[in-house]
C-alpha cells in the first residue's frame, strides 16, 4: 500500500490518563487530561503559520478534542474520518503495554478481538491519502499505532513511539522525512 507523495502534517492527540499509566487505549475512548489539553493548545501555536489549509481527524474523542483545539486557533473546520481511528486492540485494551505490542507490529501476534497491523495499514493508508488529496496542506490528527502504520508506508521503522501533542511535518522522499515543529 503506497502513501501519496505530498507534504502534510501529523499530530498525535494530546495526553490521556491512560498514556501516563502506560495502558493500551486502542478504540477505548479515553479523554484528554489537563496536560493533554495544554499540549493541544501548544500544538495549535506551533502550526499557526505552517500553511495548513484543512484539519482531518479520527472520530475518537481524544483526537477530536485535539483537532478542535487546533481548529480554533487556525480558524479552520475539522473533518472527521472514522477510518483514522486507532487500531482495535481487543482484549489488550485497558491493560499495560507489553512485549505483545512489538509482536503485533510485525504481525506475529494479534490480540483476541483485535485488528492486525496489516489490516490497520489497509485501512489507514487510503484514509491518509483521502485527507491529503485536495489542494493545500492537511493536518491529520490521530493516534500512535496508526502513525506506526503510516511510518511503515513511508519506508521508516514502525518501531518508534510518536510523542503526544508534537506536530510533525511529513515530507515525501525515500524514506520520508519527519520534522517536529519547535
Residues involved in catalysis: 13, 86
User: Could you tell me if 13 and 62 are in contact, meaning their C-beta atoms sit under 8 angstroms apart?
Assistant: yes
Choose among 148, 164, 161: nearest CA to 14. Answer: 164
User: From CA 48, how far away is CA 44, in angstroms rounded?
Assistant: 6
User: From CA 148, how far away is CA 139, in angstroms rounded?
Assistant: 17
Query: SS3 of 61, please?
Result: helix
User: From CA 166, how far away is CA 182, in angstroms rounded?
Assistant: 8
What lies within 8 Å, CB to CB, of 153 at 6+ separation is 1, 2, 3, 121, 125
Amino acid at each position: 500500500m503506497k502513501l501519496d507523495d505530498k507534504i502534510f502534517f501529523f499530530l498525535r492527540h494530546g495526553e490521556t490518563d491512560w498514556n501516563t499509566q502506560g495502558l493500551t487505549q486502542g478504540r477505548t475512548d479515553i479523554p484528554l487530561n489537563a496536560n493533554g489539553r495544554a499540549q493541544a493548545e501548544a500544538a495549535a501555536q506551533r502550526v499557526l503559520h505552517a500553511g495548513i489549509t484543512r484539519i482531518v481527524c479520527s472520530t475518537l474523542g481524544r483526537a477530536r478534542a485535539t483537532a478542535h483545539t487546533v481548529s480554533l486557533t487556525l480558524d479552520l473546520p475539522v473533518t472527521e474520518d472514522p477510518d483514522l481511528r486507532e487500531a482495535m486492540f481487543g482484549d489488550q485494551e485497558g491493560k499495560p503495554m507489553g512485549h505483545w505490542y512489538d509482536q503485533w507490529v510485525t504481525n506475529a501476534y494479534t490480540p483476541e478481538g483485535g485488528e492486525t497491523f496489516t489490516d490497520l495499514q489497509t485501512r489507514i493508508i487510503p484514509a491518509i491519502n483521502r485527507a491529503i488529496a485536495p489542494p493545500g496542506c492537511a493536518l491529520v490528527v490521530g493516534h500512535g499505532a496508526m502513525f506506526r502504520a503510516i511510518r511503515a508506508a513511508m519506508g521508516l521503522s514502525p518501531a518508534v513511539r510518536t510523542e503526544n501533542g508534537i506536530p510533525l511535518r511529513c515530507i515525501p522522499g525515500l524514506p520520508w522525512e519527519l520534522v517536529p515543529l519547535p
